[in-house]
Chain A
């Protein structure tokens, strides 16, 4: 079976019509479903948070059969993800798409779980520390997209689980957990 880096590709990745947006409704719905799942799985395993529509994205072309997705079909598949709440457009022109393989709520839960695991219930961390600190190493939080992290933290702040404050250094913000 074909591999894309460490990602195992399904058989139908070599099926040329998979790369043409199908006009017939039933067929198109199935095609979109397959693409949505493949994009989410690929992004999760490869830790891809943002897909740029105009940039080369490995999953969107298959050199083996010389097929690649048109701009129109890329947008169609990503829009389907946006509609499901599994992605968000970062700009009005639909050029960059944030992929949420975990929803914001799930990310927030992951953060809470991480805090409890490490006994950080009442401590203070910077946002950067959560993303790249020693504590988060080996968890899904490690290396996560800052935009998504901030969104998850804001959600928790809203629920009163923590407080975000401006840190001493200008470029970073601090988080005070209070669970």
Chain B
């Protein structure tokens, strides 16, 4: 088992790595082998996806959908002692490029920062890719020592999953209590000022500062949260409302490590698709299981901050969901409106709610409009109209177009006897309608 030597990496339901606070992906490579020649027992991990982050080197099995015995593992960059430069020789021209580096291990061979022994690990890059640029990024990430800056990665070598990692989408909350904030507040004031100034010096710097901005936003959010807890008696509802709004707003700011064309390369759409699948979970819950594609486009891009994606990229990412085992799906209505919905989301449940709604006395008499349905179902009017049209298509409703507008009524046509048009069956919806109309 690889887990004996390497810590197991946590993945989201959609096969994206769960990143630590402050961790950002730098590069993704497909079909990479990971092995060690020093230790015979060390697993030979074949043809997986290699993700380089500022903190770790992750290796994911290529097909994360099928539960295999090979799990995703990672090597903390903090355990790396040395990265060997690639040898340029005639021989290497005919081989797949290799990258070798040395990590510290425990005597049993487990990769650990405090380990006394060391081990050379070899990466074999089988795909067609720019080895040198990857090596450069690898060097940068290792030298960057981002794990020290976040102050959380001190035990990353030995701790495999023991740390609490927030699993809620890609938005990360630093695990700091109220006391932690107070303690850090002083230095925060100083550093905030500095980071704001630095951020606007040039675009490259802005990108690197984006992460800090996210952290800043989250810290503000936490502070708001603690503030409202402390003085609940003193604040009125209006105040609370704005605070909650502010919290939501701040929460939607940050995907700390957006998948970009730069980092993911050829794997861009695939990884974007997975990240999106993780991201839509929360907004979907809030929207009742279905959300307009346009709304997601706005939310997603806002969360990504500077790394905006095009509508076409979003479409592609959504259409890739069919290939992965994601809990969400893209759906196109007959009218052309596209939405994202949970796979478990059933129209039947919505239809039965519509049915009971239009069977009420008032709705029987005057019908319902899309905005009536929107209020009852708790969805956007455009969405409600799609539901109503779908229900009409199923024969549940029928329309009434008049100068008063476009309204829907419960479909009585099947209830009317074809042989005797005056016949009204007792206790049917038709007789209910007649009594509702005559009582007005």
Q: Which of A15, A24, A37, A67 contacts B402 (CB 8 A)?
A: A67
Whether, in the assembled complex, A34 has its beta carbon less than 8 Å from a beta carbon of chain B, the answer is yes
Bound Cα distance from A27 to B415, whole angstroms? 11
A27 engages B421 (CB within 8 Å) = no
Q: Are B393 and A30 in contact (CB under 8 A)?
A: no
CB contacts (< 8 Å) of A34 on chain B: these are 413, 416, 418, 421
Question: In the bound complex, how far is the Cα of B404 from the Cα of A33, in angstroms?
Answer: 26
**A38 on the interface (CB 8 Å rule)?**
yes
**Chain B nearest CB: distance from A64 CB in Å?**
10
Tell me whether B409 and A26 are in contact (CB under 8 A). Answer: no
Decide yes or no whether A17 CB sits under 8 A from chain B.
yes
Contact flag A24-B393 (CB < 8 Å), given A15-B409, A16-B402, A67-B402: yes
B402 pairs with A20, CB closer than 8 A: yes
Q: Could you tell me the distance between the alpha carbons of A67 and B401 in the complex, rounded to whole angstroms?
A: 9
Are B399 and A23 closer than 8 Å at their CB atoms? yes
Q: Which of B395, B412, B413 has the most CB of A within 10 A?
A: B413
**Chain A interface, >50% SS class:** helix
Chain A minimum-CB-distance residue to B364: A15
Instruction: List, sorted by A's number, 24 A–B pairs whose CB atoms are closer than 8 Å.
Output: A1-B422, A8-B422, A10-B416, A11-B424, A11-B434, A12-B416, A15-B409, A17-B367, A17-B398, A17-B413, A19-B400, A20-B399, A20-B400, A20-B402, A22-B399, A24-B392, A24-B395, A30-B413, A30-B414, A31-B413, A34-B413, A34-B416, A38-B421, A67-B400
Residues of B within 8 A of A17 (CB): 367, 398-400, 409, 411-413
Size category of the binding interface on chain B:
20 to 34
Cβ 8 A contact of B398, one of A1, A27, A37, A67: A27
- Please give the distance in Å from B67's CB to the nearest CB on chain A: 44
Q: In residues 1-53 of chain A, which contact B (Cβ within 8 Å)?
A: 1, 8, 10-12, 14-17, 19-20, 22-24, 26-27, 30-31, 33-34, 37-38
Rounded to whole angstroms, the CA-CA distance of A24 and B404 in the bound complex is 21
Per the bound structure, the CA–CA distance linking A105 and B99 in Å amounts to 95
Q: How many positions in chain A have a CB within 8 Å of any CB in the partner chain?
A: 24
Whether a CB of chain B sits under 8 angstroms from the CB of A66 is yes
Q: Given A12-B421, A20-B399, A37-B421, verify A27-B434 contact (CB < 8 Å).
A: no
- Check B437 for interface membership: any CB of A closer than 8 A: yes
Give every chain A residue within 8 A of B437 (Cβ-Cβ). Answer: 14
A15 touches B399 (CB 8 A): no
